[in-house]
A and B are shown apart, each in its own frame.
Chain A
């Protein structure tokens, strides 16, 4: 099934030297002076001078980085591979982050305030290893004289900044040997070249919160990995201008560096670690458990249908064997004749032939109820909206009626949140009630539930056997399971079916209508078709280091109905598990190496200086040499300034890889 990747589409990205914020973090002052000169009645000139001096602080990261601010590391944490000429780097999520603080370097362009230092394991152990990385209070960095009491450790030159959460913060520091620090620290000329911004398209990535979608700052090391373990340290250079400029005061043997991030990887020339390589080794199948030949059909058949066998401990005290399958099945699932269950037991399926118990829908029902009970806002809205005994269908019916009644207000709300109340009431048939927003939240929550948001993974995939390491699994979505889930969520108020019974619409349609209106947003219809739960949905689950090592992994699906169909849901469920759900039958899945995380490799050229014996190199020297070579080797997107950070990045980027997988549907 694996389909050898052919780079049909070029990976496109933009490269920028920096993203400089208008105001850097730290203390600032605003000085305003105004002078007014006027003539008095006697003809004498008189002047008034007004002066105002206001201090303020721009807050920004200083001593630690939030894990959410780190997008990717290269090589990935713990990665093992041939990284001999690769430049280690870290991809961040806030586009201005490396330039948010200002270093006072003489005559140098605006440089990043952080640097990625690469240490060999031996060097790191010589410093004391992991134990040497201490966690201290930030205040401990502000020491008079900038030295420890014995004078052996030098501190950065820092001024205290007012911070509301000072005292709770902790900062990681490493006392690095003076000589090593001086060797590893970039020079004022190299430092600006070691950080740049990559701009990429975000359409095919799992959603992630970031400043400036698609703009990723990257900070590179100026050393190539040594064989064996390497330690990457992202350190703050704030207050270390002396170190950068090579004018450290005599005396101290060690420098106390603030460590913002660190990770290890292993450079092993005998081991290949590449995107196409990993993709090529994926185990691709439908979401089902393979059984060895000769397995009895009573076991083999359910396994082939995606079920997992589980022991079922009943309230009565007995334990029965049972079968469970989540919402994902290897084959399309027929709609159940019943769509409304008053309690979980009603959704238990007992096979008349062999007495086998299937708990799938009962567990879904119970999970829906528990998730509803765990959501304070859903609970509150339910209690406010339904005060009497009302079963799932009745609640869905009332929600449907509610949406029909207040459609005008709901559309306005979704067009401009918060506007529903203030708009003239004449458009709406009825003024929205007090609980309007609460009930609307209820509907939106329900829609999220039907997209399986917040559903624990074990409920989705019944066991590890279904999704082994390095596997890609395709599946069909079982709408019965979704319906049972919604059933449970709507079951909080009781079992009665009043007006809903007279109305005659089945629960499946009622819920589908709610969802369809949500999907349509401001264009919501009064009476949508209500077939959302009847349409086929398919998807894939990918468990691979492709997901963890290339966090911005790009995914494109093609469905039978429509080429280039968008995924309904694309989400990293775990560092190495990616879930994708699409409407219609999925026929091809394309995985693309994320451009922001492309490997960064030093090209070899006889006239360009190679890294020295310790692996250290000067980007500037390399650029100057390349520039001197002229157009002999033009990068794909040549920057205007041949000696810029973007030029350095452009010269070192690899081309990336695109891998496609085709779901061969058994016909």
Chain B
């Protein structure tokens, strides 16, 4: 015995409740060979079907290409477009009986750390006890027991489902891995502990097997047969006519760990170490597991014993007992027409859960022409889902969010650092020096480069994993021999070597940078610190979401949280039962206990005690059930009786709940000991879906990126003379999506709010709230459309259990693990590698098209399924904005075509960069309304001059007047080339005053619609200053280099958004030379690509942002650094003409205009400058002759404003 085992033996067993469920299949095979699903479910939807589900991974393990996890359980098209099971897959008579399944506690299904695939081991040894009460002698109980060894090889491939890789013994024969099913079930009589001990065992976790891992393993009957589930065919009970006796059956299971060291109370303290590295204490372990420590437990706890019981599955004769009893599997409907009508199943399809939910209530279309107050109810619901309480009062920006079928998921791109000033320290402390800011900019540049390198490495790592997988497949299929000469793996090894080296180098760089940032942060002035902020994300098209309404909800009952655990001292020894109605199998239990001891099962005494407790519970249930067996005249009475009985075995109902106490006198909740079988279980686990994907025949030409202020995505434009969407050449895509639990409160809140808005409520929302809603992404659709195999098994390389060779697997595991750590530290997404589908053509860089949802099954963990769109009356409602409006002739299916506008196939982002680095503002312009002129200032705010209209409108000219302090500056002499081109272009004499007039009009038109974040200091005086900035925009691929075929891609951009008042664009010029100026609402948009950047010049409100939309990615808002802008605004010089003004001698008599900072000067026609002093209005009779003059008033900024931010000095 190892020390761990010794310690475990000395400890007190902890009793952990688990949930036990049973699906009962009985009856004759239907004409087609189907067994009828237990009739009781008819009341929850007659469309429920069932398959004696059995997943076989074995071939998948051998080939890694066909895992047999095919959606629709291998169903094939049958008459009427429906899918039916293959003959070979249909249930047969041997599939009759009771399917038991138990759910291990949530704490064991939780990974040991965040973002980790490391899970605790699951209990693998189970004793199952069946308790049978025949109708003929209700009081008597017959016992039968089985033992399951869930982790033992070799299992019987016919009964076990889970294959687990095993290294070939001997090792010399190469690295080939074989897979064998695990999970052995024996009757207690047949069970031979010695023989079991000789078998090889593995360790099972919630993923089933650590190499291929299935997220549904711990719940799906199809995957965990004889591991966490078991089929009792009841064959030993049937008579010669294959009939079952009239009886009720109950089951109890008790489980433990074969290896004491795998027991969580022994293993977890070492894995869940404290910060100091000390093993975690019991409290921490129990907290992680979500278990409540048994009260009064003394000394060490452990090992764990898991136990659960399910009582009273009835096989009574309905006629003899004058009515259906509890859960009689084949009883006819008892409701006598009193049952509420079946809920109508409806399906909504959208690009997000919100959109899919809104689609459910969409029966009308809506476009931008409709007034906000007339929005249809789905749009109202969307408003609430997006958090806008009053959809009619939605501001333009939020409305645009509604307009945008986002349909994207983000990929974290990495992080960079920014300086943050503590609030309380504001205004007082000195800021970082310009040198420090420059240093930070340099560090961030290095960080950004590293982020790019790591993203590239991730792409490289994925490519390597796919290559590695291809070789594994080749080895499995015999086309590649790893031991051949020359070494066929040499190339891969060399690549892996280089990869590991590069990952190491990147990790080292990351460490160096981290140190540099820490050092930098330490030298910051007090009150300032560094904060990490994410780089702009990359985006990939998200998979659409289906929202199902009316699907019967989950029936899985929940145990209390945390799980109330006990020790043996708390085992219930007595329960309030009437022994004359149901006897207790005292003698049989004693014999069982003896056999358990005799078989040498560990903790045999504890097992016997728990089984005895389960028998007591069965007696209690039976005794209560038999108390009242009067015939039930209808469903209502029956339901009342059933509910009362079930309530008795649930705590919390005063006067009804069974009161139980353990041997230690403490209360024991009955639901932790037994559940009373009431109906067939139904807990939707995943959906299988099938769509027909139609690629746009004309590609991007079929789509139109609307200019002006239209929605932000491409609209479908039906090509002339081409049928819009026939059923020609679709690509069929099937997929399976796991129903991941999520917090549905956002829906409930939005629905409640929408209902409250009575004006627009037609009762449909209320109907929705009463209907069980199930939403799920059609995960993998996008990948499949891109010809990627989203369902491929991607074994994790494991050097201890190599698939190819130790060398390759070790290197790949080492490299990818290190890369994963690096990426997690830098907050960079690690997209999963997806191998291409066999013989897939090259994936285009951009794809567009539409699809129809053809089939949809909702499948539960027992293999029962419902088909929400199998009925003629059920339609799939695509979200109105995603619904392609086509002719009625082609729109005749149960799902209208769902548009997927053009999307980039790889994770990408639109990179926006202001040229000019720390000082991106090339110049300033503002509309001088006082003179109807356009004033031009340099980037540093120095007044350069103004362009004024001279002469008649239409025939006039734009005249440049220099206002520079140092002396006259010609247009060509303006320092900044961008600004110089801009001003020269405006003043082009060949164009007359046209350009200037149009520019002034554009500014005049744009400014009232822009509500910038704050008013500029001098806005009062001269109107809003506008920044002239040069921008470069290009697409960037997550993996660094553009995807194949994307290099030539050039997509138009749309700049600005007049409907968003936070958008500050006035207009833009293409290129750096400003050859073409386009105000908003003009069709010109400079195209951008991966290889070539789009260059343009923006005239924008510096305090607002500019939206830049590509139609294929989420729109981005680019804004100037606010500190820089504020500082620059305080330096902005102002000038305007004035006259005639009276003079007193040489001094102009005028009040200095209001301004913040700076000094006002008078520039007379003679070129002389006179500072303007505060004006005294009183008479001064000094004899100076009065005169009149014209000139200009100019606000000079010689010194930075006193309270400007530290950035001023830098600029």
A-side interface residues toward B, CB under 8 Å? 308, 310-317, 322, 324, 344, 348, 359, 362-363, 366-367, 369-371, 373-376, 379-380, 383, 387-389, 454-459, 461-464, 467, 469, 491-495, 543, 573-574, 577
Known: A458-B1186, A459-B1142, A463-B1186. A495 touches B1154 (CB 8 A): no
With beta carbons under 8 angstroms apart, the residue of B1007, B1020, B1023, B1151 that contacts A370 is: B1151
Whole-angstrom CA separation of A111 from B774 in the bound complex:
95
Contacts of B1178 in A (CB 8 A): 457, 573-574, 577
B1153 near A374 (CB under 8 angstroms)?
yes
Nearest neighbor of A326 in chain B, beta-carbon distance: B1142
> What are 18 pairs between A and B in contact, CB < 8 Å?
A310-B1186, A310-B1187, A313-B1190, A362-B1140, A363-B1141, A370-B1141, A371-B1151, A383-B1020, A389-B1004, A454-B1177, A456-B1150, A457-B1179, A458-B1144, A459-B1142, A463-B1185, A492-B930, A573-B1177, A577-B1179
**Cα distance, A380 to B1185, chains bound together (Å):** 36
Q: Which residues of A contact B952 (CB under 8 A)?
A: none
Q: Which residues of B from 1154 to 1211 have beta carbons under 8 Å from A?
A: 1154, 1164-1166, 1175-1181, 1183, 1185-1191
Partner of B1154, one of A315, A317, A375, A458: A375
Q: Tell whether, in the assembled complex, residue A388 and residue B1179 are in contact, meaning their CB atoms are under 8 Å apart.
A: no
Chain B 1-34 against A: per-residue CB contact (8 Å), 1 yes, 0 no?
0000000000000000000000000000000000
Q: B1138 at the A/B interface (Cβ < 8 Å)?
A: yes
Q: For A543, what are the chain B residues with a Cβ–Cβ distance below 8 Å?
A: 1179
> How far, in whole Å, are A338 and B1089 apart by their CA atoms in the complex?
60
- Of the listed residues A317, A458, A469, the one surrounded by the most CB atoms of chain B closer than 10 A to its CB is A458
The complex places the Cα of A362 from the Cα of B1141 at a distance, in Å, of 9
Contacting pair B1152 A374 (CB below 8 A): yes
Q: Give complex CA distance A359, B1141 in Å.
A: 9
Other A-B pairs beyond A373-B1154, A493-B929, 18, CB < 8 Å: A310-B1185, A310-B1186, A310-B1188, A312-B1140, A313-B1190, A314-B1165, A315-B1137, A359-B1140, A366-B1139, A370-B1150, A374-B1151, A380-B1020, A455-B1177, A456-B1175, A458-B1144, A463-B1186, A464-B1183, A577-B1178
Q: Within 8 Å CB of A464, what residues of B?
A: 1181, 1183
Determine the residue in chain A with the shortest Cβ distance to B1191.
A315
Q: With A313-B1165, A317-B1165, A457-B1177 given, is the CB distance from A370 to B1142 under 8 Å?
A: no
A379 contact from B1154, B1183, B1189, Cβ within 8 A:
B1154
Known: A363-B1141, A366-B1140, A458-B1144. A492 touches B1190 (CB 8 A): no
B1149 lies within 8 A of chain A by Cβ: yes
Chain A contacts for B70, CB-based, 8 A: none
The answer to whether B1008 has its CB under 8 Å from any CB of chain A is yes
Which of B1007, B1140, B1154 has the most chain A CB atoms inside 10 A of its CB?
B1140
B28 to chain A, nearest CB (A): 78
Q: Is the CB of B1008 within 8 A of A388?
A: yes
Cα A463 to Cα B1175 in complex, Å, equals 17
Please report the C-alpha to C-alpha distance between residue A374 and residue B1185 in the assembled complex, in whole angstroms: 26
B1165 touches which one: A315, A324, A348, A458 (CB < 8 A)?
Answer: A315
Q: In the bound complex, how far is the Cα of B1187 from the Cα of A376, in angstroms? A: 28
Q: Whole-angstrom distance from the CB of B998 to the nearest CB of chain A? A: 15
Count residues of chain B with CB under 8 A from any CB of chain A: 41
Known pairs A359-B1140, A373-B1153; A322 contacts B1188 (CB<8 A)? yes
Least CB distance, B1192 to chain A, in whole angstroms: 8
Flag whether B1021 is at the interface (Cβ < 8 A): yes
Q: Which of B1150, B1179, B1191 has the most CB of A within 10 A?
A: B1179
Contact A314 B1190 (CB under 8 A): yes
For B731, the chain A residues whose CB sits under 8 A away are: none
Q: Quick check: A462 and B1150 within 8 Å, CB to CB?
A: no
When each residue 374-397 of chain B gets 1 if its CB lies under 8 Å from chain A and 0 otherwise, what string results?
A: 000000000000000000000000
A313/B1151 in contact, CB under 8 A: no
Contact B1154 A376 (CB under 8 A): yes
CB distance from A301 to the nearest CB of B (A): 19
A467–chain B nearest beta-carbon distance, Å: 8
Shortest beta-carbon distance from A365 to chain B in Å = 9
**CB atoms of B1153 and A363 under 8 A apart:** no
CB of A234 to closest CB in B, whole Å? 26
B59 interfacial contact with A, CB 8 Å: no
- What distance in Å separates the Cβ of A513 from its nearest Cβ neighbour in chain B? 25
Residues of B contacting A371 in the complex (Cβ-Cβ under 8 angstroms): 1151
Residues of B contacting A467 in the complex (Cβ-Cβ under 8 angstroms): 1179
Complexed CA–CA distance, A57 and B196 (Å): 99
Question: Are B1186 and A313 in contact, with the CB atoms below 8 A?
Answer: no
B1154 and A363 contacting across the interface, CB-CB below 8 Å: no
A312 and B570 CA atoms in complex are apart in Å by: 110
Return A148 CB to nearest CB of chain B, in Å.
Answer: 41
| Cβ of B932 under 8 Å from chain A | yes
B1191 CB, min distance to chain A CBs, angstroms = 7
Asked whether, in the complex, the Cβ of B1149 is within 8 Å of the Cβ of A458, the reply is yes
Quick one: CB contact mask for B1123-1141 with A, threshold 8 Å, 1 for yes? Answer: 0000000000000011111
CA distance A573 to B1176 in the complex (A): 11
B214 within 8 A of A: no
Q: Is the CB of A363 within 8 A of B1142?
A: yes
Closest partner residue, chain A, to B1004 (CB atom): A389
A495 touches B1151 (CB 8 A): no
Q: How many angstroms from the CA of A359 to the CA of B1186 in the assembled complex?
A: 13
Q: Is the CB of B1188 within 8 A of A367?
A: no
A376 to B1017, CA, bound (A): 11
Q: Which of the listed residues A315, A379, A463, A543 has the most CB atoms from chain B within 10 Å of its own CB?
A: A315
Which A residues lie within 8 Å of B1021 (CB)? 373, 379
B1019 lies within 8 A of chain A by Cβ? yes
> In the complex, what residues of B have CB within 8 A of residue A494's CB?
929, 932
A383 and B1019 within 8 A (CB):
yes
Give chain A residues whose Cβ lies under 8 Å from the Cβ of B1179.
457-458, 461, 467, 543, 573-574, 577
Residue on B nearest A371 in the bound complex, by CB: B1151
Query: In whole Å, how far is B168's beta carbon from the nearest beta carbon of chain A?
Result: 81
**Whose C-beta in chain B lies nearest to the C-beta of A460?**
B1179
Ranked nearest first, the 3 interchain pairs of A and B with the lowest CB-CB distance are: A374-B1151, A373-B1153, A457-B1179
List the A residue with the shortest CB-CB distance to B1183: A464
**Bound form: Cα–Cα A359–B1139 in Å:** 10
Q: How far is the CA of A495 from the CA of B953 in the complex (A)?
A: 14
- Find out whether the CB atom of B930 lies under 8 angstroms from the CB atom of A389: no
Question: Are A311 and B1187 CB-contacts (below 8 A) given A494-B932, A577-B1179?
Answer: yes
Kindly list chain A residues whose C-beta atoms are within 8 Å of the C-beta of B1149: 456, 458-459
Name the B residues within 8 Å of A455 (CB-CB): 1177
Q: Are the CB atoms of B1004 and A388 closer together than 8 Å?
A: yes
Bound-state Cα–Cα, A494 to B931, Å: 8
What chain B residues lie within 8 Å of A370 (beta carbons)? 1138, 1141, 1150-1151, 1153
Chain A nearest CB: distance from B806 CB in Å?
74
| 0 or 1 for each of B876-891: is its CB under 8 Å from A? (1 = yes) | 0000000000000000
Chain A residues contacting B932 (CB-CB under 8 Å) are 494-495
- Produce 1/0 per residue, B532-545, CB < 8 A to A: 00000000000000
- B956 shortest CB reach to chain A, Å: 15
Which of A312, A492, A493 meets B1189, CB within 8 Å? A312
Q: How far is the CA of A464 from the CA of B1004 in the complex (A)?
A: 46
Which residues of the other chain, A, contact B1185 by a CB distance below 8 angstroms? 310, 463
Output the least CB separation between B1144 and chain A (Å). 6
Residue of B nearest to A380 (CB): B1020
Give the residues in chain A near B1181, CB-CB below 8 Å: 464, 469
For A316, the closest partner residue in chain B by CB is B1165
How many angstroms between the C-alpha atoms of A367 and B1140 in the bound complex?
9
CB of B1144 within 8 A of CB of A376, answer no
Complex Cα–Cα for A494 and B933 (A): 11
Is the CB–CB distance between B1140 and A456 below 8 Å? no
The CA of A577 and the CA of B1178, in the complex, are separated in Å by 9
Q: How far is the CB of A652 from chain B (nearest CB, A)?
A: 35
| Separation of A348 and B1141 alpha carbons in the complex (Å) | 12
**How many angstroms from the CA of A317 to the CA of B1142 in the assembled complex?**
16
Query: What's the Cα separation between A362 and B1165 when bound, in Å?
Result: 17
